[in-house]
Amino acid sequence: MPRTKRIFSPSGYMHLILRGVGKQIIFEDSADRRYFIKLLKHYSAENETTILAYCLMDNHVHLLIHNTVGKTSFMMRRLETSYAVYFNQKYERTGHLFQNRYLNENIENTGQLLRVFRYILNNPAKAGICSPFSYEWSSYHLYENDASFVDVSPIKKEIGSLSNLRAFLNESNTDEFREAEIRLRNDEWAKKVLRETLQTENGYCLQNLNRAERNKALHKLKAAGLTLRQIERLTGISKSVIQRV
C-alpha cells in the first residue's frame, strides 16, 4: 500500500517527532546527543529550515521548525539516515533505528505555535525527569543566545524576556500532542468528515453555491479539523480563496 502523502501547513510551522523503533533508546550518552544536534544544525541550514525549538529525550526527539520551501521531508530523511548510520556503527547494530516516518503536526496560528513551543520544552518535566530550566538537551538554554542556530525570534516577539518564558512554561496547562489522531488525519479521514459535515460525497459541489453559502461550508470544514490543503484538494477551491474566507 502506498504511503499517504504528507500534508504541510501553509504557515510553514510544524511540530515534528522522531521515535526510536519499538520505543528503543536512540541516545545512549551525551556524545550521541551532541552528534544529533550537530547533524540538525547542518541539515537545517542546508535545507533552508529554521529550528525554533528542540528537545532530545532518551527514545524520541521533538522539533519545532519553520520551512516554506518544501524541503522538510528531505531534511528529515538526511537527518534520520545520517544519525542511524552513526548509531549503528557505534553500537554494532543493524536495521532501522527510527519508528516508521516522523510525525508532523501542522501549526496554523500563533496560539498553537506557543502551545507547541511550551509542550516541547516541558517534555522533561512531563516525563518526571527535571524542570525544563535544568534539562541540558533542549533548546531552552539557547533562548537568549543570539549566536545559536536556533531562532526563537517569532517566540520572543510574543513572549518577550527569559523571565516571561519561565512564567509561561510554569503556567498550568493541558498541552498535548495527539499522535494517534495526527496519524489518522489523512485524506480518507478528510473525505469522511466532509460527508458527515456537509452531507455530500463531492466537495466540488461547493463551487456551485453562492458566495455566502460556499464560505459558510468552508468554515464548517475548517472548524471540523481539515487543513487548508485538504479543503483545497476536496473542493477544487484554491488555497488563496480558502485563506481569505
Q: pLDDT digits over 17-31, tens only?
A: 999 988 889 999 999
Question: pTM score > 0.75 for this model?
Answer: no
Rg (CA), the chain: 20
What's the confidence (pLDDT) of residue 155?
Answer: 95
Helix or strand or coil: residue 16? strand
Q: Where are the alpha helices (DSSP H) in 122-238?
A: 123-126, 153-159, 162-170, 179-184, 187-198, 211-223, 228-235
CA 116 to chain centre: 8
Cα–Cα nearest to 116, from 26, 53, 49, 74: 53
Residue 4 has what pLDDT? 52
How confident is the model at residue 176, as a pLDDT? 67
Q: Which residues of the chain have pLDDT under 50?
A: 1-2
Superfamily of domain 13-180: Transposase IS200-like (3.30.70.1290)
- Mapping DSSP onto H, E and C, the string for 41-78 reads HHHHHHCCCEEEEEEECCCEEEEEEECCCCCHHHHHHH
106 in helix, strand or coil? strand
Residue 207 grid cell: 463551487
CA 237 to chain centre: 26
CB–CB of 9/106 below 8 Å? yes
CA nearest to 195, candidates 228, 170, 213, 217: 217
Please give the pLDDT value at position 7. Answer: 60
The whole-angstrom separation of Cα 215 and Cα 45 is: 40
DSSP character at residue 98 = B
Q: Which residue is listed with cell 545559536? A: 148
Q: How far is residue 50 CA from its own chain's centroid?
A: 12
The total of other beta-carbon atoms located within 10 Å of residue 87's CB is 20
Q: Between vectors from CA 6 to CA 40 and to CA 122, what angle results, nearest 5°?
A: 50
